[in-house]
Amino acid sequence: MSTITLDKKQMIKTLNNISENGLKVFDDNYQIDNNSENPDAIVVRSFHMHDLTFGDELKAIARAGAGVNNIPVEKCTEQGIVVFNTPGANANAVKELVLTTIMASSRNLFDGVAWAKALDNETEDLSKLVEAGKKQFVGTEAKGKTLGVIGLGAIGALVANDALNLGMDVIGFDPFISVDTAWNLSRNVKRAATIDELFQHSDYITVHVPLTDDTKGMFNSGSFSLMKQGVQILNFSRGELVNEKDMSQALEEGTVARYITDFPNANVLKMKNVIPIPHLGASTKESEDNCAVMAARQIKDYLETGNIKNSVNFPNASLPYTGKKRVATFHQNVPNMVGQMSSAISSFDLNIADMVNRSRGEYAYTMIDIENDVNGDIIPNLERKISQIEGVVTTRII
């Protein structure tokens, strides 16, 4: 990453508590101002951003975490705002909590501890009471049971591999598994050909997919009807993956013995046999540092060099930054955009040193490095000329 001086201090706004170690990444070129009406970049965790209006200086939003359903990604794309997330940075934290709760739930630990804490400590023979009461909390062991893992990305793959080490049988389902994850996944994780197959064979089901139109409500009366009686379901992904009405009924009927969710709400708290966790999946010191540092570095790199890594809406693009002026343009993915940008540059008697053009769906991103020294009025004039090309969403000269 470069250390360069920017033309003006860049305003950074945070919408949630962001780890100090992440904020330290922003050097003297930056000012953290959480009251800023028009920041250059925003760092966010779960803050719901759909109702916000964005100022014209906003160039980047970084989600210090995985899920981006709290961010209006489509609106950002249309306005030329790059959205980043931090893939894998909190995966270990979630994995540890998933495995912890599989065992804690199966051993009735939450109920047992609550019962013990409620005992009257003035009672004379407390230990007798404990020994007599413990039979209510006899549990089962995870070893030898089948865990179904839906979504074998950063979290799902870690959960699947480590559950094998606990002696569980693991079956996984992920029709879009990445090559990297597939390489890291133990070959002892069995592959379910369909999600129904996973539903039918699992004693525990844990879900690790993003919330999208396709995954919303994937746990419903239809899926519950396929599951083993007494299955335990863990949801550390998003509450909306589960149809609450159907889950409530499945818990009442005992089809689902336990619903462990990181996303309690008023309906969930009324359900029988629910274990509500206050969205603690990623809440560890290590994970908060990892996410914040990664998010801040991605913003800094983008603002200083235009390079993009881990965007969820722009194509990833990278060109070694030499310190020469760079024209970084986000535009529609249509013919002759690069040709028109090159003509605009040569109309100022400037020569191109290097360039990269990457597309993603309907949009593309082009960075063009200029060989000559570019000073004075040329910069705003060139910026204006490029921004006037039809199909250009935003352009910056860095």
Positions touching ligand NAD (CB under 6 A) are: 65-67, 87, 90-91, 94, 150-156, 173-178, 181, 208-211, 214-215, 236-238, 262, 279, 281-282
Binding positions for ligand 3PG, 293-352, rule CB under 6 A: none
Query: Does 283 sit near ligand 3PG (CB under 6 A)?
Result: yes
The partner in contact with residue 45, picked from ligand 3PG, ligand NAD, none with C-beta cut-offs of 5 to 8 angstroms by kind, is ligand 3PG
For ligand 3PG, the closer CB: 46 or 200: 46
Q: Which residue is nearest to ligand NAD (CB)?
A: 153
Could you say which of ligand NAD, ligand 3PG, none residue 214 binds, taking C-beta under 5 to 8 angstroms by partner kind? ligand NAD
Question: Closest distance between ligand 3PG and the C-beta of residue 288, in Å?
Answer: 8
For residue 204, the partner it binds in ligand 3PG, ligand NAD, none, with Cβ less than 5 to 8 A by kind, is none
Main-chain dihedrals φ then ψ at residue 61, nearest 5 degrees: -125, 130
Residue 215's binding partner among ligand 3PG, ligand NAD, none (Cβ under 5 to 8 angstroms by kind) is: ligand NAD
Instruction: Indicate which of ligand NAD, ligand 3PG, none lies near residue 173 (CB less than 5 to 8 Å, by partner kind).
Output: ligand NAD
* Interaction of residue 282 with ligand 3PG, rule CB under 6 A: yes
Q: Please, what is the minimum distance in Å from the beta carbon of residue 242 to ligand 3PG?
A: 15
Site string for ligand 3PG, 63-82 (x = CB under 6 A): --xxx---------------
Among residues 31 and 178, whose Cβ is nearest to ligand 3PG? 178
Both structure tokens of 55: 């100022």
Judged by CB under 6 A, the chain residues 211 through 270 that form the site for ligand 3PG are none
Shortest gap between Cβ of 214 and ligand NAD (angstroms)?
A: 5
Question: What number of residues does the chain have?
Answer: 398
22 binds ligand 3PG (CB under 6 A): no
Question: 3-state secondary structure string, the chain?
Answer: CCCCCCCCCEEEEECCCCCHHHHCCCCCCEEECCCCCCCCEEEECCCCCCCCCCCCCCCEEEECCCCCCCCCHHHHHHCCCEEECCCCCCHHHHHHHHHHHHHHHHCCHHHHHHHHHCCCCCCCCHHHHHHHHHHHHCCCCCCCCEEEEECCCHHHHHHHHHHHHCCCEEEEECCCCCHHHHHHCCCCCEECCCHHHHHHHCCEEEECCCCCCCCCCCECHHHHHHCCCCEEEEECCCHHHECHHHHHHHHHHCCEEEEEECCCCHHHHHCCCEEECCCCCCCCHHHHHHHHHHHHHHHHHHHHHCCECCECCCCCECCCCCCCCEEEEEEECCCCHHHHHHHHHHCCCCCEEEEEEEEECCEEEEEEEECCCCCCCHHHHHHHHHHCCCCEEEEEEC
46 binds ligand 3PG (CB under 6 A): yes
Which is closer to ligand 3PG, CB of 291 or CB of 317?
A: 291
Spatial separation of the C-alpha atoms in residues 156 and 153, rounded to whole Å? 5
- Cβ proximity to ligand NAD: between 234 and 370 the closer is 234
**CB contact at 8 A, 327 and 351:** no
* Shortest separation between residue 163's beta carbon and ligand 3PG, angstroms: 21
Closest CB to ligand 3PG among residues 129, 211: 211
Stretch of 277-285, 320-328, 372-380, 386-394 contacting ligand 3PG, by CB under 6 A = 277-285
Residue number closest to ligand 3PG, CB atom: 65
- How many positions of this chain bind ligand 3PG (CB under 6 A)? 10
d(CA 225, CA 248): 14
Instruction: Return residues touching ligand 3PG (CB under 6 A).
Output: 45-46, 65-67, 90, 279, 281-283
